[in-house]
Amino acid sequence: MEAEEILEELAERGEFIVIGRGVRRFDALDKALGRAKFTADYVERDALVVKVVRSSLPHALIKGINIDEALKIPGVVAVLTAGDIPGENQIGYALPDQPFLNDVKVHYVGDPIALVCAENEEAAFKGVEAVEIDYEELQAVYTIDEALSEDAPRIHGGEDNIAVTTRVRKGDIEEGFSKAEAIVEDTYETPYQEHMYIEPEAAYAIPEGHDKVTVIGTMQSPFLVREKVAGILGWNLNQVRVIQALTGGAFGGKDDMGPLVCAKAALAAVKLGRPAALILDRDESAAYSVKRYPARIRYRSGADAEGRMTAAEVDITVDCGAYANRAPFWLWRMTAHAAGPYEVEAVHVDGRAVYTNKVFGGSFRGFGDVAMHFAVESQMDMLAEKLGLDPLEFRLRNVLRPGSRTTTNQLLDHSVGIEECLRGVAEASDWWNRRGEVKRIEGKLRGLGVACAHHGISTSRGAPDWSAASLILNEDGTFTYRTGICELGQGSQFGHAKIVAEILGAPLESIRVEGPDTDSTPNARPTHGSRGLMLGGSAAADAALRLRGRMVKVASEMLGCDEGDVELKDGRAYDRRRPENSVSFRELAREMYIRGVSPAAYGFYAPPRRYFDPETGLGVAYPVYTFAATVAEVEVNPETGEVKVVEVWPSMDVGRAIDPLLIEGQIHGAIAQGLGFALTENLIVEEGRVLNPNFKDYVIPSSMDMPRVSDVIIVEKPYRHSAFGAKGVGEPAIISIVSAIANAVYHATGIRFRTLPITAERLYRALRGEKP
């Protein structure tokens, strides 16, 4: 196809115009000045306040819901329950196990039962307190072992509490272990992680006439929100208009929470014929919104005398909480990445996700790969030690290379840069000289740890995936670009603009990005799976290339030269042979409009089709993988057990760096988030109740806890099937930092933690001989 040739030509030219350069984002100024508008900024004063009546019990039958007292409170306009839902009372993501408003049974503390709609917050609050729920309490299930026990109550009926299972059977596992010189086996557990995005979940719904509703909200998948809202209302998709407001942090959580929150506001607005807003409080957000799924991994792996991996046998259990939500995708991701970014001939994986009566898990940056790599990277360190090898050297002997096959036997023929990442961080951190002995500085112990990561981009297995975008050349030579990919702080939209600018030779400031509005922006599918730039940007490239073809054709006629001699640069079309001969994009645009040449283009992109066999777990699990390696240095204070992360050396194979500043931003943020998961973040859930739903006691790191971050080593192994070869960055950034810290703590102290977080008290106890 011609378009691909042009893109290839652009990708191969020695110097790019904007790609690869760090450029100040065009949303930076408004955000810094506080002028950027988020969902709550759109809510009018007379909007109805919606508050959720939630279950106070972890597992119970609902015998009755009495709203009479609530309705007597001045200012309470209505209390909506399941019976008020015109569409289907079901909002499960992967499985239909999740009622939108519960009227039969509740499955966790916080399960929604009713919506109080009131004139103000005070009345709404009193209304929620006044709704009486008559429960018949049921025995609750809190742990994986309880969920799997024979006599456990079945949370969603059926034969057991297992929501989904997975398996991989690759190679001969017995033979693999028989070749092993060293075998290590252990069990790893990772806890919940709460996103703690600075902006809590919010939605504002405005009824438009009698049969349409507009919903403004904080989200990651506007078209999924549209589908879910339409389902609850029993409406067609085109009766629901969803606008994604700038989103104040998402990290996956708002992919899942967007539909839940938007549908509640929309139901209130449509039922009552008035604008309605639902904004979660911090404690609601922290206690009842989705979390990183807790997981337990049993891992047995072996390597031969030459330090080559021979076998890995992995058993994964994911704790879903009350609903499956994303668990099938989460579990498949863990399953497909079970061997880590290493070549292992024989791999057997068995996975299951189980229900418990706790807050349900959901999307969170890294999506299962943080937990999986924590196990993998701990095992790699232990195997290296057993074989008497340096852990970095041991990894180098096993990393995936072009021509390697993954856990699921997927052949990686190109875009595999993990070896370069690993060598890069080894050199930058002076690993070979510094890893040796543990340094003691004023009684404190310094340790150096390494970890690798790989992360498949976008959706797992053979699930169809695609993206779309549109681009209009305006009469004045400027461009309006529309994408359904959301701005969540990460800057993907800006990346799209750079791709468009590069292809069209347009000044960046002449391109205006219009964010998601389901009535006008093409469906780019979700902003998750680190796909926003790779998938969304490739659709942008397609649109730009289509428009470019027409611009070049008209320009060649205006300039009186061959199309092949037309160069687009700095907002002008030049005749390459006579550069003084040129027209501006404004002149070119006017000419296109006059001649009736379409000035708009719709871009569409789909990665190559894949085949995956869920029975054997073999096949192409993801179109492409991003790779990362990290070295971390920690300082342990044996007097208190505190761990200070001193310095981090990050690297990543990003395919192609569209903007190094965006990559750096993602990596710095991920270091903070990973550091929190590794060391301090500890959601305390007792009998299904979250005891610390606040910033005071759910401890995320502050800027003062940030380590020195060495220059990011960017490795570029372009992916053949995306615009300029770019791959996703957001999620891979958090995976290796967690394990690198844990491995560094081991190096400093000789104590291996198989559960997280490594809090000061836990480490203090372990240093005094308690089992970690």
Partner 1 sequence: MRPLPRFRVHRPESLEKALELLATLEKAKPIAGGTDLIPLMREVEVDVKHLIDLSHIGELNFIREEEGYIRIGATTTLSDLVASELIASKAPALWEAAASMGSPQIRNRGTIGGNLCNASPAADLGPPLLALEAEAEIRSLDERRWIPIGEVFAGPKVNSLAEDELLTEVRFKTPPQGAGSAFEKIGRRRAVTLALVNAAAYIEVEDETCRVARLALGAVADRPLRMGEAEERLMGKELSEELIEEVSALCGRLVRPIDDVRASAWYRREMSRVLSRRALLKAWRRCAT
Residue ranges that bind partner 1, judged by CB under 8 A: 120-122, 124-125, 281-284, 639-640, 642, 680, 684, 691-692, 695-697, 699-705, 759-761, 764-765
- For residues 701 and 725, which CB has a smaller minimum distance to partner 1 in the complex? 701
- For residues 618 and 679, which CB has a smaller minimum distance to partner 1 in the complex? 679
As measured in angstroms, the least distance from the Cβ of 707 to partner 1 is: 11
- For residues 122 and 476, which CB has a smaller minimum distance to partner 1 in the complex? 122
As measured in angstroms, the least distance from the Cβ of 277 to partner 1 is: 14
SS (HEC) of 42-101: HCCCCCEEEEEEECCCCCEEEEEEECHHHHHCCCEEEEECHHHCCCCCCCCCCCCCCCCC
CA angle 255, 655, 423 (to 5 degrees): 115
How far, in Å, CA of 734 to CA of 671, rounded?
A: 6
- For residues 104 and 704, which CB has a smaller minimum distance to partner 1 in the complex? 704
Which tokens belong to 740? Answer: 């690198």
- For residues 41 and 639, which CB has a smaller minimum distance to partner 1 in the complex? 639
**Residue 263 DSSP one-character state:** H
- For residues 119 and 227, which CB has a smaller minimum distance to partner 1 in the complex? 119
Query: Left if phi > 0, otherwise alpha if psi is -120 to 50, otherwise beta: which for 20?
Result: left
- For residues 84 and 642, which CB has a smaller minimum distance to partner 1 in the complex? 642
CA angle 471, 477, 479 (to 5 degrees): 25
As measured in angstroms, the least distance from the Cβ of 163 to partner 1 is: 30
How far, in Å, CA of 406 to CA of 264, rounded?
A: 42
CA gyration radius, the chain: 27
How far, in Å, CA of 565 to CA of 544, rounded?
A: 19
As measured in angstroms, the least distance from the Cβ of 694 to partner 1 is: 9
Q: What are phi and psi of 352, to 5 degrees?
A: -150, 150
As measured in angstroms, the least distance from the Cβ of 132 to partner 1 is: 19
What beta strand segments (E) does 128-257 contain?
Answer: 132-137, 162-170, 182-190, 202-208, 212-217, 240-244
As measured in angstroms, the least distance from the Cβ of 771 to partner 1 is: 16
Residue 737 exposed, middle or buried by CB count within 10 Å (0-12, 13-18, 19+): buried
Which tokens belong to 541? Answer: 């490239």
How far, in Å, CA of 226 to CA of 620, rounded?
A: 30
At 530, which amino acid appears? S
For residue 660, how many other CB atoms are within 10 A of its CB? 16
Angle, to 10 degrees, between the axis of helix 391-398 and the axis of helix 418-428? Answer: 160
As measured in angstroms, the least distance from the Cβ of 550 to partner 1 is: 53
As measured in angstroms, the least distance from the Cβ of 264 to partner 1 is: 18
- For residues 282 and 298, which CB has a smaller minimum distance to partner 1 in the complex? 282
As measured in angstroms, the least distance from the Cβ of 678 to partner 1 is: 13
- For residues 351 and 757, which CB has a smaller minimum distance to partner 1 in the complex? 757
- For residues 128 and 541, which CB has a smaller minimum distance to partner 1 in the complex? 128
Residue whose tokens read 């979250």: 690
As measured in angstroms, the least distance from the Cβ of 711 to partner 1 is: 24
Cβ-based neighbours of 227, under 8 Å, separated by 6 or more: 237, 259
- For residues 440 and 578, which CB has a smaller minimum distance to partner 1 in the complex? 440
**Residue 237 DSSP one-character state:** G
Residue 32 exposed, middle or buried by CB count within 10 Å (0-12, 13-18, 19+): exposed
Which CA distances in Å does 580 have to 46, 183, 477, 583?
60, 71, 19, 10
As measured in angstroms, the least distance from the Cβ of 370 to partner 1 is: 20
As measured in angstroms, the least distance from the Cβ of 70 to partner 1 is: 16
- For residues 432 and 695, which CB has a smaller minimum distance to partner 1 in the complex? 695
- For residues 306 and 770, which CB has a smaller minimum distance to partner 1 in the complex? 770
What DSSP letter does each residue of 661-677 carry, written as one string?
A: HHHHHHHHHHHHHHHHH
Q: What are phi and psi of 410, to 5 degrees?
A: -75, 130
As measured in angstroms, the least distance from the Cβ of 631 to partner 1 is: 22
- For residues 26 and 142, which CB has a smaller minimum distance to partner 1 in the complex? 142
As measured in angstroms, the least distance from the Cβ of 48 to partner 1 is: 15
Which tokens belong to 325? Answer: 């939500």
As measured in angstroms, the least distance from the Cβ of 284 to partner 1 is: 8
Pick the closest to residue 629 from 341, 415, 422 (CA basis): 422
- For residues 56 and 692, which CB has a smaller minimum distance to partner 1 in the complex? 692
What is the enclosing helix (H) or strand (E) of 124?
helix 121-130
